[in-house]
Chains A and B, each alone.
Chain A
Amino acid sequence: NAGVTQTPKFQVLKTGQSMTLQCAQDMNHEYMSWYRQDPGMGLRLIHYSVGAGITDQGEVPNGYNVSRSTTEDFPLRLLSAAPSQTSVYFCASRRTSGGASNEQFFGPGTRLTVL
């Protein structure tokens, strides 16, 4: 299994540009999530999904859109990038069966800089 994969690993955008961060998992996990990690702060939840066709907002959803058309993929879209979105982004997944207390698997991260 490849686990959780993310592309790209690095990206530089100009203010106002749009892009999609890709996330895929091959473990048939129902729950997938996106986090951002900023210096001096803990990881913060952007959006999450408990299954195909179901998404919901996390703590910091503004400026980001998500969709979940398949179990495997959970892309994160920045519609109009802003310098405040400069961060490291992590995708994660876990099972939901057996309760919420399941191991989380993280992708390698995407380092995004918005100029």
Chain B
Amino acid sequence: KNEVEQSPQNLTAQEGEFITINCSYSVGISALHWLQQHPGGGIVSLFMLSSGKKKHGRLIATINIQEKHSSLHITASHPRDSAVYICAVCLNYGGSQGNLIFGKGTKLSVKP
């Protein structure tokens, strides 16, 4: 079983739709990251969460530590949001403390 699971794997939406990507994890963490990878390959950090909720523009990220679950929401989606969204957790135990474990990513395609 993967320690970080994302769903869905692929997502196609129409412009303007509300989008939710989910991430569940099974390990102890100090923080959770949401990353964006565009077709060109570069990876950028969107959010880093250890509790609660964060909002940047049309993007909202939430985390429930007790349920070991996080969601990334995109409101009023746009074709430029098309990318792979990656969930990564920062381990909080032992010799691996501070290292990241990544989900496999969710490929989002937003159609005009």
Contact = CB atoms under 8 A, between A and B. Distances in A.
B7 interface: no
Interface in A33-48: 33, 35, 40-45, 48
Contacts of A48: 99
Interface stretch (A17-25, A66-74, A100-108): A100-108
Nearest to A111: B41
Interface in B28-74: 30-31, 33, 35, 41-45, 48, 50
B43 A101 contact: no
Contacts of A103: 33, 45, 48
Contacts of A50: 98
Most chain A CB neighbours (cut-off 10 Å) among B33, B41, B103: B41
Contact of A108 (B41, B92, B97, B100): B41
B92 A42 contact: no
Contacts, number: 63
Interface of A: 31, 33, 35, 40-45, 48, 50, 56, 58, 88, 90, 96, 99-106, 108-109, 111
19 contacts: A33-B99, A33-B100, A40-B104, A41-B104, A42-B102, A43-B88, A44-B102, A56-B95, A90-B43, A96-B98, A100-B98, A103-B33, A104-B33, A104-B45, A106-B42, A106-B43, A108-B42, A109-B42, A109-B43
Given A100-B31, A104-B45, 19 more contacts: A31-B98, A33-B100, A42-B101, A42-B103, A43-B100, A43-B102, A44-B102, A45-B100, A45-B101, A50-B98, A58-B99, A90-B43, A99-B30, A100-B98, A101-B90, A103-B48, A104-B33, A106-B44, A109-B43
Interface of B: 2, 4, 30-31, 33, 35, 41-45, 48, 50, 86, 88, 90, 92, 95, 97-105
